[in-house]
Amino acid sequence: MFLKRLFKKECYFLVTEDKFFSKKPCVYFLKLVYVKESMFLTKEEEAILAGEQGTGYKEAMEILVSIGDIYNAEKLIPVQSAQIAGVSYKTARDAVIVYLKHLIKENAKVKIPAYLNPAGMDINNWKEMGIPENFAQKQQEIIELYSQLGIFVSCSCTPYFIGNIAQTGEHLAWSESSAVVFANSYFGARTNREGGPTALAAALIGKTPYFGLHLTENRVPTVKVNVELDKTMTSADYSALGLWAGKQLKMNVPLFTNLPITSSLDYRAMSAGLGASGAVPLFHVKDLSPEKDLHNDNTIIETITFTQKELKSVYESYTSDTVDMVCIGCPHAHLTEIAHIAKKMKGKKTSIPFWIFTARGIFNQAQDMGYIKTLSQAGVSVISDTCPVVAPFEGMFSGIATNSAKAAYYLPSMTKVESTLTDLDHLIEISLRGHK
Ligand code: F3S
């Protein structure tokens, strides 16, 4: 079978070997299977696709048009910002260097504000992290290349804590899973879960295909998740709830009821859990989240319940035998969390490595407030630009304790280390004691 884009129609032909019309063997005929409309392109978009603005933009447009045609998008729509994954050399490897160099050679530049996801190391303090020199060189090259394309070297999975705030109904092209869930659920903005290449293509063109969560009908909740807990929920509990719910929901958009969530930090924790285990990057909270007009019992096809039993089962899935490192900041830590830890650790000393991951913008604020100095005196490292999952930590630790269900979920496969999930104050106690 082969596919051919013809004018505004997409024609799919089946090539078959047929002996019915001829006695000669191997006579082929073309059988029209179906004809469907291709995505509408404006004259300017057609010109970019034809290469009139150069090969870099042409290839970006080809990516967007291919995705749009696969998902039956009607057209391209403008996006306000892009957030681009595929930054760590650990996951992106040399292929991204080759592609970015090609784009730069073709004079491509992003057309909208675009932000980078975490890299594989702290750009300034990679030696202190124990990062090998050859990894650091490659990582610096990747960051420099992204920067030459006009992309803001934020290296954070919480762009919304460092100024990239979205409005309800605004269209975005973000790729980090936790940030995508946060943008859709907390802001009520609209973004599909982009891959690194599609987010970069959207940043270069300033547009994305109009399908999936950009359409209101795909944002309607279909499963009610009733939360019945007899305790005050911690950030770790919200991340555990997200992880559990993501596994149950399949392709359904959830509507959480009886959920006492108010803070953006808890939305962030729950978004990370849901994005790690689930396929639908959006959740609603009854009577609270921005798209309340979509909360209608008539659309609900199933109700599930999250109780103390389900919460306990998530924690029991992540209990390593030992702990020789403590980490928070998945997603990247907020200034208030750094302040909280600094207050608790003041005048004390950690017995095992205790690392806090955050955005560089937050690090700078924490430094101005004196928290970095307090934490450093207590033996706590505050690391920017990277994250526990995409940094090359293999072999450095045997058990990592964290308050992030997402980190607990990914660490065993990505870093070959066992994980323990627990709340922040318990992590501080573990770090002082030096073991679980
Ligand atoms: Fe952010 Fe890395 Fe966690 S990108 S959400 S810190 S896995």
Most ligand 1 atoms within 8 A of CB, residue of 87, 356, 387 to mutate = 387
In order along its 436 residues, the chain shows pLDDT tens digits of: 234 444 444 444 333 333 333 334 333 444 444 445 689 999 999 999 999 999 999 999 999 999 999 999 999 999 999 999 999 998 889 999 999 999 999 999 999 999 999 999 999 999 988 899 999 999 999 999 999 999 999 999 999 999 899 999 999 999 999 999 999 999 999 999 999 999 999 999 999 999 999 999 999 999 999 999 988 999 999 999 999 999 999 889 999 999 999 899 999 999 999 999 999 899 999 989 899 999 989 999 999 999 999 999 999 999 999 999 999 999 999 999 999 999 999 999 999 999 999 999 999 999 999 999 999 999 999 999 999 888 777 888 999 999 999 999 999 998 889 999 999 999 999 999 999 8
Q: Is the CB of 87 under 6 A from ligand 1?
A: no
**Atom 1 in ligand 1: which residue has the minimum CA distance?**
331
For residue 52, give the amino acid letter: E
Cα–Cα dist 13/36, whole Å: 12
**What residues have CB less than 8 Å from 327, skipping those under 6 apart?**
354, 355, 356, 357, 388, 400, 401, 402, 407
Compute the distance between CA of residue 130 and CA of residue 399 in angstroms, rounded to an integer: 17
Q: Is 155 in the pocket of ligand 1 (CB under 6 A)?
A: no
Q: Which amino acid is at 291?
A: E
* 282 CB-side CA count, 13 A: 28
**What is the DSSP-derived secondary structure letter of residue 399?**
E
| C-alpha span between 360 and 141 (Å, rounded) | 19
In the reported structure, the alpha carbon of residue 330 is separated from the centroid of ligand 1 by a whole-number distance in angstroms of 5
Centre of ligand 1 to C-alpha 259, Å, is: 24
Q: CA 364 → CA 103, 303, 345, 370, distances in Å? A: 32, 45, 19, 10
Does the CB atom of residue 406 touch ligand 1 within 6 A?
yes
